[in-house]
Amino acid sequence: MSVLSAALPKREFGARFDWTNIWNHWIFLLVCVVVLLPLSFLVLGSFSTASLPADFSFDEMGFDNYIEVWTDPGTYQVFYNTFVYTTGASAIGIVFAAILAWLVERTNLPGKIWIYAGVPMTLAMPGLIQAMAWVLLLSPNSGFVNMGLMQWLDLEEAPLNIYSLWGMSFVEGLRLVPTAFLMLVPLLRSMDPALEEAAAVSGANPAATARKITLGLMVPGIVAVTIYQAMTALEVFEVPGVLGMPVGLHVFATKIYVAIQAISVLPSYGEANALAMLYLAIGFGAALLYWVVIRRSEKYAVVTGKGYRPRLTDLGRWRAAFTSFVFLFLFLSIGLPFLVMVYASFVPVLVQPTWDVFSKLTFEHYEVLFTFPRFGKMFQNTIFMVTAAATATTVLSFLISMVIVRSRFWGRRALDMLAFIPHAIPGIVSGLALLWLFLILHVYGSYWTVAIGFTIAFIAYGTRAMNAAILQIHKDLEEAASVSGAPPWRTMWRIFVPLMMPSFIGLWIWVVLLSIRIAGMPLLLAQGPENQLLAVMIWNMWDEGLIEEVGAIATMMILGIFFLVILLRVVGFGRSIIQTR
Q: H-type helices in 63-111, by residue range?
A: 64-70, 73-106
Cβ distance 242 to 524 under 8 Å?
Answer: no
Which range scores top for mean pLDDT: 226-230, 258-262, 451-455?
451-455
CA distance 544 to 556: 20
Residue 209 pLDDT: 66
% pLDDT > 70, the chain: 80
pLDDT: which is higher, 264 or 470: 470
Which tens digits make up the pLDDT trace of 110-129? 888 888 878 888 877 888 99
Contacts of 251 (CB under 8 A, 6+ apart): 78, 81, 82, 85, 86, 168, 240, 244
Give the model's confidence band at 405: pLDDT under 50 very low, under 70 low, under 90 confident, else very high: confident
Residue 407 pLDDT: 79
Amino acid (one-letter) located at 302: V
Q: If you average pLDDT over residues 153-163, what whole number do you get?
A: 89
Mean pLDDT of the chain: 81
Q: How far is CA 443 from CA 268, 430, 455, 523, in A?
A: 20, 16, 17, 16
Which tens digits make up the pLDDT trace of 46-92? 888 887 777 777 888 888 888 888 888 888 999 999 999 999 999 99
Residue 199 has pLDDT above 80, yes or no: no
Give the model's confidence band at 338: pLDDT under 50 very low, under 70 low, under 90 confident, else very high: very high
Give the model's confidence band at 374: pLDDT under 50 very low, under 70 low, under 90 confident, else very high: confident
Give the model's confidence band at 295: pLDDT under 50 very low, under 70 low, under 90 confident, else very high: low
Residue 475 pLDDT: 67
Which tens digits make up the pLDDT trace of 464-480? 888 877 877 766 666 67
Residue 296 has pLDDT above 70, yes or no: no
% pLDDT > 90, the chain: 23
Residue 288 pLDDT: 77
Contacts of 282 (CB under 8 A, 6+ apart): 234, 252
Residue 445 pLDDT: 67
Q: Helix, strand or coil for residue 526? A: strand
Residue 210 pLDDT: 63
Cβ distance 244 to 167 under 8 Å?
Answer: no
Residue 206 pLDDT: 60
Amino acid (one-letter) located at 319: R
Residue 551 pLDDT: 93
